[in-house]
Amino acid sequence: MNDPFTWLDIDFIGELLAEHHPDRDPLRIGFVDLKKLVMALPGFFEDPKHPCNEKILEHIQAAWIEERSDTPRSDDDEDDE
C-alpha cells in the first residue's frame, strides 16, 4: 500500500504523474485537469491545512516536466542525430 501524500509532496507527485501518465504531455494539461490527475493518484489525500492553489500546480507541472526529461524516451529524439 502506498504511503499517503499531499499537495506539498511536489517532487513525488511529479514522479507519480510521469509513471502513471507516460503518454500525457504535462505542457498540454490545464490546471483543472492536472488537479484531477493528482487527486486520482493512489495514496493522495488533501490536507485541509494545505489546500491546492495555482502556485502548487505550477510547481507540480514543473516537477512532472523535469521527471519526463530525466526519463529516456523512444520518440523521434534520436532522429535528429
Contact indicator for 8, 46 with CB cutoff of 8 Å:
no
- Please tell me the total number of residues recorded for the chain in this structure: 81
Q: pTM of this prediction?
A: 0.82
d(CA 36, CA 4): 17
How distant, in Å, are the alpha carbons of 6, 37, 74 from that of 11?
Answer: 11, 15, 24
The mean per-residue pLDDT over the stretch 14-35 comes to 96
pLDDT digits (tens, 9 = 90+) for 40-53: 999 999 999 999 99
Instruction: Delineate the domains of the chain, giving CATH numbers in brackets.
Output: 10-70 (1.10.10.600)
Cα angle 43, 13, 50; round to 5:
75
Q: 57 vs 81, which has greater pLDDT?
A: 57
Other C-beta atoms closer than 10 Å to the C-beta of 66 total: 15
